[in-house]
Amino acid sequence: MNREDFEMLKQDIIYFDNSATTLKPKSVVDSITDYYTKFTSNAHRGDYKTSLKVDTLYEGTRDKVKDFLNAESSNEIVFTSGTTNSLNMVVFGFAKYNLKPGDEVIITKTEHASNVLPWLELADELGIRIKYAPLDENLKLRTEDLLKVITPNTKIVSLAHVTNTVGDIRDLEGIGKMLKERNIYFVVDAAQSAGHRKIDVQKMNIDFLAFSAHKMCGPTGTGVLYGKEKLLEKMRPINYGGGMNNFFESDGSREYKSIPTLFEAGTQNIEGVIGLGAAIDYLEAIGFDEIEKHEKELRDYLIDKLSTIENIDVLNKNSEAGNVLFNIKGIFPQDTAIYLDHYNICVRAGNHCAKLLKEELGIKNTCRISLYLYNTKEEIDKLIETLKNSKNIFEVVI
């Protein structure tokens, strides 16, 4: 749907790499161009008309994000450079100062690198323990299985809402309730879900949540950290500098601003935040129910069709999101991706930044198709046709 809004689709390509980044609709691109052609100026310096306009748009996006996540207050919305940055802020700004040696953090082996490596670093630094919740036979996380690893020392559970590999959707509401009853902080990596389905941080009892604009029709280099107000109060900035202080003196005395500005030192990615605002408007106008329904229909169609091809292995037939992992039997996934690229079909080959998954899946690398609102059944038909004709793959890739 809405294909006409995407300039990229006017080229002869089939874009199936939406988990990596999505295409951008014209309204988002225009919002950024407008900033550079009509009202360029810095934010938070509202001394003249254009700068006031930038302020209004920048802070307006904060309010939009608040509603988008159903946060209690706009003070709970911090702009960051993306999910990776947001998660690092939680680990090195919050966990580092609020956990102690021996405390436990629970993640899973299907987490993205950005929800694994910061924790491993902190574990070395602080002496906390990182534990992996067990996954079921389809590599999904069952809510009740968390209880198998939770102990009185568990302080944080940090999970992707939707995994970028297996494509399972975690039951955030159930997990949030379970963790709240046990006084465990709940950190959510929503990189693959914001822009695909509705998130309600209050209903889901989420303490911190991270997402990236570029995976939801917005620009790269911009993201959000949501944190409950009382927790952001306990978090320390990672960056110090202009924009986040009230005063400082040569004797070392200083006072910082309050949240969320405290965490936005330096000139921010203003075009990015404005673009994120336009992306939220764009997606909300379509409606998350529609987007979810469309993705689900396409995914079922894709898995059905792929399953009819004899020499294709589908590795996550139970995918609940828009990602499907497959391999052509006996063909290295990169060769498959190069073959498909020859027909202008963009798919991703690799481990998709979930390097722990190989321990579970037994397969290091796969091809991944990830769907979004503008994909169509006709595109899937073309992919299927191309895969069916892949007997000549080496004539194409060599």
Ligand X SMILES: Cc1ncc(COP(=O)(O)O)c(C=O)c1O
| d(C-alpha 254, C-alpha 292), whole Å | 48
Task: Identify what 189 binds: other proteins, ligand X, none; CB under 5 to 8 Å per kind.
Answer: ligand X
- 160 near ligand X, rule: CB under 6 A: yes
- Residues in the interface with ligand X (CB under 6 A) total 13
| Residue number with CB closer to other proteins (126 or 338) | 338
- Phi, psi angle pair for 160, to nearest 5°: -70, 140
| Residue number with CB closer to other proteins (149 or 363) | 363
- Phi, psi angle pair for 248, to nearest 5°: -155, 150
Q: Of the candidates 18, 32, 66, 82, which one interacts with ligand X according to CB under 6 A?
A: 82
DSSP string for residues in 91-149: IIIIIHHH--TT-EEEE-TTS-GGGTHHHHHHHHHH--EEEE----TTSPPPGGGGGGT
Question: Is-contact 196 291, C-beta < 8 A?
Answer: yes
For 200, what's the count of Cα atoms within 13 Å in the CB-facing half-sphere?
7
Q: Give the binding range for ligand X (CB under 6 A) out of 30-38, 79-87, 290-298, 388-396.
A: 79-87
Task: Identify what 350 binds: ligand X, other proteins, none; CB under 5 to 8 Å per kind.
Answer: other proteins
β-strands 323-328, 312-314 pairing: antiparallel
Question: Is-contact 24 222, C-beta < 8 A?
Answer: no
β-strands 104-107, 129-132 pairing: parallel
- Cβ at position 398, least distance to ligand X in Å: 30
Task: Identify what 207 binds: ligand X, other proteins, none; CB under 5 to 8 Å per kind.
Answer: none
Q: Give the binding range for ligand X (CB under 6 A) out of 82-90, 137-145, 265-273, 375-383.
A: 82-90
Q: Is 209 exposed, middle or buried (0-12, 13-18, 19+ CB in 10 A)?
A: buried
- Phi, psi angle pair for 61, to nearest 5°: -65, -35
Task: Identify what 114 binds: ligand X, other proteins, none; CB under 5 to 8 Å per kind.
Answer: ligand X
Q: Give the binding range for ligand X (CB under 6 A) out of 77-85, 140-148, 360-368, 387-395.
A: 77-85
β-strands 345-346, 14-15 pairing: parallel
> Is 353 among the catalytic positions?
yes
Q: Of the candidates 248, 364, 377, 385, which one interacts with other proteins according to CB under 8 A?
A: 364
- Cβ at position 332, least distance to other proteins in Å: 5
- 221 near other proteins, rule: CB under 8 A: no
Beta bridge partners of 185: 156
- 366 near ligand X, rule: CB under 6 A: no
| Residue number with CB closer to ligand X (54 or 91) | 91
Note the residues at the interface with ligand X (CB under 6 A).
19, 82-84, 112, 114, 160, 164, 189, 191-192, 212, 353
Residues designated as active site: 353
Note the residues at the interface with other proteins (CB under 8 A).
332-335, 338, 341, 349-351, 364-365, 394-395, 397-398
